[in-house]
Chains A and B, each alone.
Chain A
């Protein structure tokens, strides 16, 4: 066997002194062959991006210093190249795609021009560039490439932009492609398309691909080989078929175990009378508007009806923009509504105000998506948790003891009360958020993407906590998520939303096991790593 295309040996990159560990990556050794896809997985902060940036020579050198090791690409010592030498490699021989399609393109330059720039930088004659750019746009499956080339990025959707990025990376037919979480910001359906595109192009051109992700599902669908990183160290490398099926390292094992799968057992369901009843809900957003402009109307939620009983969890799933959060906010009275009814325990809450609204506030609570944004950074944790009870007239002593109990209940030390949110990890903050919601002793809990921002292992713990709490406090729960597997783990019933309308609804295993609507079927098909979950080894790439 010839030399590998890329060979990283004992690479060590130091963190600036203030960091929580000495090295961002230490002693990382990896190889990538031609025509091979190597996936690097690992939790947030484990050093995946740093490794990729080092190969590309894009490390912010004023903050991060390479302190050891070598990177050899096709026989060239990349670390020894000067800026000009490296520049010739970038774009021409190694292409790169980034995670954020929304910000990775220059907002004030036309698409076509941005693609042509790569060729210009590497000396392709002017006459050829335009045709080539169109050809590339076509190759990545964009409709009307001529028109797209003339557009500015803001007119393209996230998936389309990611395709443009891929076209750009492939413009000069590089030998190697680095993709740093290229699908994380995308919808499952779009993700599936992009994954397929990368895979097809890689096959077609025989490129080596260094693919970074934190999603084992994605790994299962795309990887030839897998490298698992933890805290800057590669803990395990091997063929995907081995690592995924019989992980050798306990860390890998824990990661894989935490990956949620689809539940197979149907839930018992609740027999109680519903506490929350939503019928014919409609919500219209109006934007723009002015002297000369008629406001634009956007129907975010249309004719949605459902009900939840105590002890029951209703899932709300659908792709981004389908109106999930909007429904949650309508239910919580953060938003007004434009039609329909929302009733809680038989009383209308849409028009509730004053005391009635306040009473409702004590009964319905919410857990938010972003653990970093959901706590007031200026308030100590204890104060945040006590705010609810205090607002409802509970005396300070009671509120305090309730707060301390809850902290314990969500698995935190009582001393946490005197600390500020930034002193906690994401998972811990989410627990605090749950404690805060529970402090007013609600009957209904709305959880909007409550675990989406968390790493899989933490996600699993928080899901467990939510489940326990629901049962313990006998809560009705509205669980909003875009992740079908998570929904299937915790929900009893689920509603599938598409463009603000309900397309399918029912008991979880029914809906996910035997989808009736074509949209639901597409959604399910796009979930990565299904075959792996079902144990279909043969489907893994050899």
Chain B
């Protein structure tokens, strides 16, 4: 087995272990929580008696021991079954699958926006270090870095939807408009603008600051001096030598933050009524819909793990030193 392949494989095994651990942890945490889901359901039925609640408990396996429940759940997962939501009367997998695309659309757009805008801003700032442009960019990113995401969301709704009326404030498409084809795409895009920027701004600030710092650090490195001693123009120096090396820590960071993006998505999806799994998770949290929660957690963790593997691979491509165990 070649060594990069081996590294990727061991990475995968490790990831699976992490995912397993997460499943167990969440399962235990949630099961240990107070509140009996059967009584909620019974309550919502308008009236309830013991017989009805026992029925419910039995139906959803709530009368079994916690270990049995965990085991049943784990077995289910191994067979690709994320459980069944008794609140929504639907397979958890289906609930998540229906909402996952919306979340992916939101987070990936936010991520791409943040990464491109952030790196460009950071690079401009670093190249003008000490000048007013740098100052402006630094202040802007410091402010976005400190602004609560949900508040930016609200303020941008106020500004862009309520007062200026430029962009829709909520949802993923114009309700009842029944657009098709390009109109549909455009419609979704218009709805995407505010939530994606809101979610992305914080990370944009993070990447801008990071890029700036990283570039300034790389700028003082020996090999940059070498490049200058070669008589290179500043363009190639920045692109080939400084940026190329400065981007490495950002890739790592981006990988780590993929998971945090999902957290941000809960807030964003709440503020903008975006029909994704962040919203699903929050509703499930409030309703103690255990199965859905477990499913969402599992999926987000898997997403994080996948993101990490991807960044790992990208890193291997970008940094030749990685994966070469000489």
Contact = CB atoms under 8 A, between A and B. Distances in A.
A–B interface present (Cβ within 8 A):
yes
Contacts of A165: 226
Interface stretch (B77-85, B229-237, B265-273): B229-237
Interface string B311-326: 0000000111100111
Contacts, number: 99
B175 to A, nearest CB: 50
A164 to B, nearest CB: 10
Nearest to A56: B229
Interface stretch (A115-123, A247-255, A352-360, A428-436): A115-123
B186 to A, nearest CB: 40
Contact of B318 (A108, A290, A292): A108
A98 interface: yes
Nearest to B228: A58
Given A98-B226, A103-B222, A292-B1, A122 B231 contact: yes
Interface stretch (A89-97, A141-149, A228-236, A493-501): A89-97
A155 B326 contact: yes
A404 B284 CA distance: 70
In this complex, the member of B6, B230, B325, B326 whose beta carbon has the largest number of chain A beta carbons within 10 angstroms is B230
A165 B317 CA distance: 25
A87 B245 contact: no
Tell me if A's interface is mostly helix, strand, loop or mixed.
loop
Interface stretch (B8-16, B37-45, B138-146, B292-300): B8-16
Contact of A108 (B9, B10, B228, B319): B319
A87 B321 contact: no
Given A106-B241, A107-B245, A108-B320, A291 B231 contact: no
Contacts of B230: 90-91, 117-118, 121, 168
A154 B321 contact: yes
B56 interface: no
A329 B264 CA distance: 50
Tell me if B's interface is mostly helix, strand, loop or mixed.
helix
A89 B1 contact: no
Contact of B10 (A91, A100, A121, A291): A291
A103 B321 CA distance: 14
Interface string B212-249: 00000000011101111111110010001100110010
Nearest to A102: B222
Given A88-B231, A121-B232, A154-B324, A106 B225 contact: no
B316 to A, nearest CB: 12
B176 interface: no
A306 interface: no
Contacts of A390: none
B130 interface: yes
Contacts of A96: 229
Contacts of B13: 291-292
A62 interface: yes
Interface string A282-305: 000000101111001000000000
Contacts of B245: 106-108
B233 to A, nearest CB: 7
A92 to B, nearest CB: 6
Interface string B60-97: 00000000000000000000000000000000000000
Nearest to A169: B229
A155 B199 CA distance: 42
A98 B130 CA distance: 28
B217 to A, nearest CB: 13
A106 B3 CA distance: 24
Given A90-B229, A90-B231, A118-B230, A98 B9 contact: no
Contact of B240 (A92, A109, A118, A292): A109
A142 to B, nearest CB: 17
A288 B324 CA distance: 12
B6 A292 contact: yes
Nearest to A87: B231
Contacts of B319: 107-108
B325 A288 contact: yes
A117 B231 CA distance: 9
A345 interface: no
Interface in A69-91: 87-91
6 contacts: A98-B229, A104-B223, A117-B236, A118-B231, A121-B236, A293-B6
Given A98-B225, A106-B241, A291-B10, 20 more contacts: A58-B228, A90-B229, A91-B229, A91-B230, A96-B229, A98-B222, A98-B226, A104-B225, A108-B244, A108-B248, A109-B240, A118-B230, A121-B231, A121-B232, A152-B320, A154-B321, A154-B324, A288-B325, A292-B13, A293-B10
Interface of B: 1, 3, 6-7, 9-10, 13-14, 130, 221-223, 225-233, 236, 240-241, 244-245, 248, 318-321, 324-326
The 6 closest A-B pairs by CB, nearest first: A91-B231, A90-B231, A103-B222, A91-B230, A152-B320, A292-B10
